[in-house]
Every structure is written in C-alpha cells, then in structure tokens.
Amino acid sequence: MTEAKIIDGKAFAADVRGRVKSAVDVLKADHGITPGLAVVLVGEDPASQVYVRNKGKQTLEAGMNSYEFKMPDTVSQEELLAKVAELNEDPAVNGILVQLPLPDHMDDQAVITAIDPDKDVDGFHLVNVGRLSVGATDGLIPCTPLGCLLMLKDHFGGSLSGKRAIVVGRSNIVGKPMFNLLLQESCTVTVAHSRTDDLPGECRRADIVVAAVGRPEMVKGDWIKPGAVVIDVGINRIEKPDGGTRLVGDVEFESAKSVAGAITPVPGGVGPMTIACLLRNTVTACCQQND
Ligand code: GUN
C-alpha cells in the first residue's frame, strides 16, 4: 500500500513568508511604504499570548512594522472600541487584529464590526464575509481557510474545478469561509457538522476533506476515499497513557495516511500557514489602501 504524501505546512508557510517579504521590500524601496500590523490582546490567556508573540515576531521578520497593545481583562468594551477607533484612523496601521476570544463581558461581534473593513486582516467583518460570499476578489479572506486553499491549489497544480469537497465543521472562522472559497474554486461542496447523518459516508465521497470540528481524531482512515487529500485544521491537546500530553488533529493521522493521497500533519500542517496568511493579508490591505 502506498502512503500519503505528507504536506509540509512549515515549509509552505516559510515560502509564503518569503514572498511576503519580497513584496514588502518592493513597497519600501519603490514606494517608501512600510506596512504595519496592529494586534490587540485583552487579558492574559497563555495560548493567546503565545500567538500574539509569534505574530509580532514574524511581522518584524517580514520587514513590516508591528504594533502590540495589551489591555487588562478589566478593560471596558468602550475603552477597547476607543483603541480600535484610534487604530482605524492611524495611517501607519494597515491591518488590525483583535485577538479572540475576548473576555465574557465583551461582545466579539461588536468589536469586529468596529474595525475598518479595509484593515480587517482577519476577514471577520460582515463586509468581508459578504464580499467573500458574493465572490468578490477585493475582500480580506480569513487566514486559516486561505492557508488551506493555498495548500490545496498547490497540491492540485492550480485548479480544484469539479472536485467533490467536504468541510467538516461550520464555524464562522473556518468552516463557512472554507465552504465559500471551495465553491468559488468550482468544487462541489458539502458542509457537514455534528448533526450530519452518516458522516463517514459523506466523507467517503469526497476528493478533498477539510476537517475543522475541534474533536480529537474524529475523522477515521476508513472514512477517507483512497487518494483523497486531507487538510486537518484541528489542534487538540490530549493526554497520553504516561500522563503527558500531545497535540493531535481532528483526523486520526495514522489510519488516514495509509488511505489518503496527501495529508497535512498536526503539528506542522495548517497551523504555520495561519500567521503566514495574516502577513499576506496585511500586505494586501496595505496595497489596497495605497492604490
Ligand atoms: N484566536 C485564535 N485564532 C484567531 C484568529 O485567527 N484571529 C483572531 N483575531 N483571534 C484568534
């Protein structure tokens, strides 16, 4: 039996970051513009702190300006909205990201709505959600689904037209935008979720499986059509028999890799692509603002 090709997200992300840096070099040298990304973190969530630190580091490595704003979790929504309004007006800031989740006393959607859609590098603002859903090419696209799409297009040599795809998970951050992107690429797309009847049967029909449900190793190898391409968005920490922990995806990697044609590992698959696409979106936003 042939084993799946393991899609190297780390190498792919490094390549995307390299191309972002080249674009930044041209913006600086030929136009005197340095793109800037502002990240706002409310509270002390350790995982969010790690993400924000990595975003800042990679923004600087790509030659861009990074602005970090840390606010205590006692801050009011009004104070956070005032910060967003200030960043909306700041010409040095081309992209704004407010790290989610926000503390319970805040309304995530109200904060996202306050961000200027042209600076919304997460692609979560309703204007960008709408642009994506009508197939407009000038919107900002959520980073994780964009990363998945770039890897899929690379694997298939550019065109996904006519492929049968399934997205397992219907979140606003991954599942729904992934559906829209695959549909735009002329795939025949099914969106499955926890209430789907015969989820294994639905998956078995698909040439492309994108798993984004947040359930450790839920998608099994015998749910995969031989030769299908499997993109695993899940990042779940589970306990090992020895008491330690390890990271696993939403797909049971060992059983899936002996059936799939190609598969992304966890870690080292989709994960590194998210920040790479955030940097890419920041350059896109900067170019559009200076057009
Ligand atoms: N928290 C976890 N992932 C993300 C993301 O992609 N964007 C934002 N804003 N917050 C997150």
Q: What CATH number does residue 54 fall under?
A: 3.40.50.10860
- 235 carries a ligand binding annotation: yes
Measure 24 CA to ligand 1 centroid, in angstroms: 23
In a domain, 71, yes or no: yes
HSE toward the beta carbon, residue 148, CA cutoff 13 A: 29
pLDDT, position 137: 86
d(CA 30, CA 111): 35
- Ligand 1 contacts (CB < 6 A) are 97-100, 122, 143, 274
| Phi, then psi, of 187 in degrees rounded to 5 | -80, 160
83 pLDDT exceeds 80? Answer: yes
Query: What DSSP designation does 33 have?
Result: -
The minimum-distance atom of ligand 1 relative to the CA of 142 is 6
pLDDT (mean) for 115-141: 97
Residue with tokens 């967003």: 84
Ligand 1 mean position, distance from CA 29 (Å): 31
**Number of structural domains the chain divides into:** 2
Owner of token pair 């992934």: 178
pLDDT of 2 reads 81
pLDDT at 211 over 80: yes
Per-residue tokens: 133: 């859903």
Residue 74 in this model has a pLDDT that exceeds 70: yes
Same domain, residue pair 147 and 266: yes
Q: Which residue has the higher pLDDT, 139 or 115?
A: 115
Q: Tens digits of per-residue pLDDT, 135-182?
A: 998 899 999 999 999 999 999 999 999 999 999 999 999 999 999 999
Catalytic residues: 55, 99, 122
Q: Whose CA is nearest to atom 9 of ligand 1?
A: 99
Report pLDDT for 198: 98
Q: What is the pLDDT of residues 49-71, one digit of tens each?
A: 999 999 999 999 999 999 999 99
The CA–CA distances, whole Å, from 113 to 96, 165, 181, 213, 287 equal 12, 31, 22, 25, 22
Q: Is residue 130 part of a domain?
A: no
Ligand 1: nearest atom to the Cα of 122: 7
| Mean pLDDT score of the chain | 97
The closest residue, in CA terms, to atom 1 on ligand 1 is 100
Quick one: average pLDDT of 16-31? 98
Answer whether residue 1 shows pLDDT above 70. Answer: no
φ/ψ (deg, to 5) at 205 = -85, -10
Q: 266 and 149: one domain?
A: yes
Distance (Å) from CA 219 to ligand 1 centroid: 24
Residue pLDDT, tens place only, 221-260: 999 999 999 999 999 999 999 999 999 999 999 999 999 9
Whether residues 110 and 152 share a domain: the answer is no
Residue 261 lies in a domain: yes
What is the pLDDT confidence band of residue 185, given thresholds at 50, 70 and 90? very high
In a domain, 167, yes or no: yes
Q: What percent of the chain has pLDDT above 70?
A: 100
Q: Can you give the residue range of the structural domain that contains 225?
A: 142-271
CA 99–ligand 1 middle distance (angstroms): 5
The annotation status of 170 as a binding-site residue, yes or no, is yes
